[in-house]
Structure 1
């Protein structure tokens, strides 16, 4: 009889039946005999639960399978195959990771089971000892089998199976990024960190203000997942202010140009995300932090339907896709953003109800307009150059045209035309707001003479005739 070889597994004992369970891009309703998920692959994973499949509060946690200390070093040398192989070898010599997270009925969420009491120690030992039996009775779902089954189903309709995409959707995440946004990690008995988040967590700027209710009272009412305190966790996003995109003290033309081309604001955000040094390595770190936050926000929309993450995702895209000069200076960064956005759009329909419908933007006007303007900015910045950014933009443009019917080239959009009615009469129609983007027509800028700087005004020495009653 062959001995049982455990694989990386997360056990979820005492989980109520018919609970929504999600792991990465997979989700299902738990059956009666369900105790966990085995055969976890190395890398980042996000596990979440909800009492119902639709719009109940969802609670989840990020964790890493493998040696998390290698995440940053592996990213710093992405093309070093020898380094990657060495990491894999070092992991293969380590015992399989067995995580035990127990359902907490008070907060309706799962939490790591800690050996802080004798009863918990015995329970942990019992579950680990019965791992082989749970597998034989079919109480453990296989992550790899589910991913393979999912890929086989999608082969006929798509070229990017969901589970193959997960590693690309999390490629820029790191412990540093998660700790900045979600606070300090929770460490289990085996010194493995995890970061908790719920669909109710919000950044301070996105928090709903209710008249007559203080922020503290609202926070206590919401509660906090993974902590005995009753204060809601605040998401600490990168500071993006689209209303002020120029340096302190800028005036006149500099301020106007920085409002039209937000490259300075993007560079300033990258500097804030990196160290004080402006070396190329630190710049790459700052760019990776922005990409990592883009990935985190989208996946929290996808899995938890977190509204604050949706707003930050839109803010970051609104900053990046309104830059002109930065396209030449940060070509690799813009390529990464375009490739990431294309991958995210392939999964936007996985959001319950649809990604764009979640914000009430049923026609996705925000993103369509943003990409249309970026297409023009890119042509102006890279005029006459055969840049790889153009190729990635062409791939994104082709996909949105085929799937959404979007036309991103302004010259190809018909803004005025004649329409023949049923009685034969021809009527000229014009697209509402057609001149807004080009700042022409009624949207054209107007020069106003304020009289400053000339001598047309009245001097104090001039006599003024006043009417006499």
Structure 2
């Protein structure tokens, strides 16, 4: 990059200042990551728009990298975003950073220049191809309340029955004989529970039953769209029930109507969001959502006629997902149980069945030829699910 271009980007681009990040921390921006050095203070020359920032703490004694945590941030032109490292939680946070602090840093940005790494523009086109349908409004809908996307599920334990009984408060100071009887029964129950809890477990099942009940912390949940469990309309005929059990068009229409009625292309943004959370954020649940949405799109035959523009863009989205991911990644994960090949095979079959020779049909079948040539995937043979079962009568 020449000096003139660098100067323009420095003044027009956004800046992210990261204070007190420990040396050795893995720090990433979009499609690139680095190991933070002793002088690292953030990233400069960030192109305006939505980006994914992520990091992993490092245990110097064991030389181990911790779980990955990330967040999507919408950077405005010339904006300055400030975060500070919390050594206890091992995360970047806004806590303790005032508007005056941000203004002071912004006024002295030139003094920080030598401590800021330039945004990796060599990967910017890749990032845009992976995120171009993600909007600020969609981020507000999908991101957890905490704004943190963690590779490890954030679990909390619920209070046990015994503990909840101890926390129970009695109302009033005067007890009737019935109240006293209930109190005595409660005490006996608590004594019995304590005996059972202190007794040695007699089996694995017994031991597991004594573990605290864990649930996902609400503020850490990604707010993905719900995939309808019922794939066919209520009160439909047996023929329609059979049809929509194979054709996911009703499920797709339900998702669009419930979540993206005003802008159907936002479902593509959710597909991109889920893929980034899995590929870069290392969130397994996001991979499941990505698979589910891709499956709904690929198996919606009737919807091809009504949402041609949506499916044209879907082909581009899935094309870049495949193109920008290491080949062995697909072999090891995405091709497990032939998910991707069998799902895309249904999609290409639906396109071939279209009566008109539309742009959608032409582009889809051209995409099929590209995948066949690049990955040697076979979309012509019958999937195992539809193959006849061979019965041995001997």
Q: For residue 272 of structure 2, give the secondary structure of its aligned residue in structure 1.
A: helix
Query: Are 2:376 and 1:405 aligned?
Result: yes
Which residue is equivalent to 2:292?
Answer: 315
Over 3 Å counting, the alpha-carbon distance change for 1:401 and 1:202 in structure 2 is farther
1:184-229 per-residue CA deviation (whole Å, 9 max, x = no partner) reads 5x7xxxxxxxx332223589xxxxxx954455x4546xxxxxxxxx
What corresponds to 1:304 in structure 2? 281
**Structure-to-structure mapping, 1:228-247, within 5 angstroms:** 233-241=220-228, 244-247=230-233
Compute the TM-score of the two structures, normalised by the length of structure 2: 0.74
Flag structure 1 segments of 5+ consecutive residues without an equivalent.
67-90, 151-161, 187-194, 204-209, 221-230, 276-281, 414-432, 444-469
Is 1:60 the counterpart of 2:70? The answer is yes
Partners of 1:260 and 1:39 in 2: CA distance = 49
Alpha-carbon RMSD: 3.0
What CA distance in whole angstroms lies between the structure 1 residues aligned with 2:51 and 2:109?
A: 21
SS in structure 1 of the partner of residue 46 of structure 2: coil
Match of 1:331 in 2: 308
- Aligned residue for 2:318, secondary structure, equals helix
* Equivalent residue, structure 1, for 2:56: 50
Residues in 2 aligned to 1:42 and 1:332: alpha-carbon distance in whole angstroms: 27
Quick check: 1:26 aligned with 2:8? no
Q: Which residue of 1 aligns with 2:117?
A: 141
CA contact (8 A) 1:263 1:326 kept: yes
SS in 2 for 1:312: helix
Residue correspondence of structure 1 range 244-259 to structure 2 within 5 A? 244-259=230-245
Is the contact made by 2:126 and 2:324 (CA closer than 8 Å) also made in structure 1?
A: no
Gap change, CA 1:127 and 1:247, over 3 Å in 2:
same
Structure 2 distance, partners of 1:325, 1:257, is 10
Decide whether aligned partners of structure 1 residues 202 and 347 sit closer, same or farther in structure 2, where only a CA change above 3 A counts. Answer: farther
The two structures have a TM-score, normalised by structure 1, of 0.63
Q: Is this contact kept in 1: 2:80–2:102, CA < 8 A?
A: no
Q: Measure how far apart 1:406 and its partner are.
A: 0.3
**Equivalent-residue separation in structure 1 for 2:80 and 2:138 (angstroms):** 25
The equivalent residue for 1:416 is none
Separation in structure 1 between the aligned mates of residue 73 and residue 390 of structure 2, nearest angstrom: 54
Q: Distance in 1 between matches of 2:331 and 2:86?
A: 33
- Are the equivalent residues in 2 in contact too, given 1:375–1:409 (CA < 8 A)? no
Q: 2:45 — aligned with what? A: 39
What's the offset of the Cα at 1:55? Answer: 6.9
* Rounded Cα–Cα distance in structure 2 between residues aligned with 1:183 and 1:50: 19
Quickly say closer, same or farther: Cα 1:17–1:6, change in 2 above 3 A. farther
1:176 is aligned to 2:151: no
Residue 28 of structure 1 aligns to a residue whose secondary structure is strand
Report the secondary structure of 2:125's partner residue.
helix
* Conservation of the 8 A alpha-carbon contact between 2:23 and 2:38: yes
DSSP-derived class of the 1:12 partner:
strand
C-alpha displacement at 1:163, in angstroms?
1.4
Aligned pairs (5 A) from 1:151-300 = 162-184=123-145, 195-201=147-153, 212=209, 213=211, 215=213, 217-219=214-216, 233-241=220-228, 244-275=230-261, 282=262, 285=263, 287-300=264-277
CA separation of 1:219 and 1:264: change in aligned 2, threshold 3 A: closer
1:305 alignment partner, SS class: coil
1:437 equivalent in alignment to 2:389: no
Determine the C-alpha separation between the residues in 1 that align with 2:251 and 2:154.
24
The answer as to 2:329 corresponding to 1:354 is yes
Alpha-carbon separation, structure 2, partners of 1:170 and 1:9: 20
- Correspondence for 2:345: 372
Does residue 103 in structure 1 map to residue 85 in structure 2? yes
| Alpha carbons 1:59, 1:304 under 8 Å: kept | yes
**Aligned-pair distance for 1:305?**
0.9
Task: Return the offset for 1:259.
Answer: 0.7
Q: C-alpha separation between the residues in 1 aligned to 2:375 and 2:154?
A: 30
Shift in Å, 1:32 = 1.8
The CA deviation at 1:183 is 4.3
Q: 1:402 to 1:33 in 2, by over 3 A?
A: farther
Closer, same or farther in 2 for the Cα pair 1:401/1:55, shift >3 Å?
farther
SS state of the match for residue 296, structure 1?
helix
Distance 1:395 1:140, change over 3 A: farther
Corresponding residue of 2:21: 15
Larger fraction in helix: 2
Deviation track 1:123-158 (CA, whole Å, cap 9, x = no partner) reads 5455434421222xx321111xx31xx3xxxxxxxx
Report how far residue 164 of structure 1 moved. 0.8
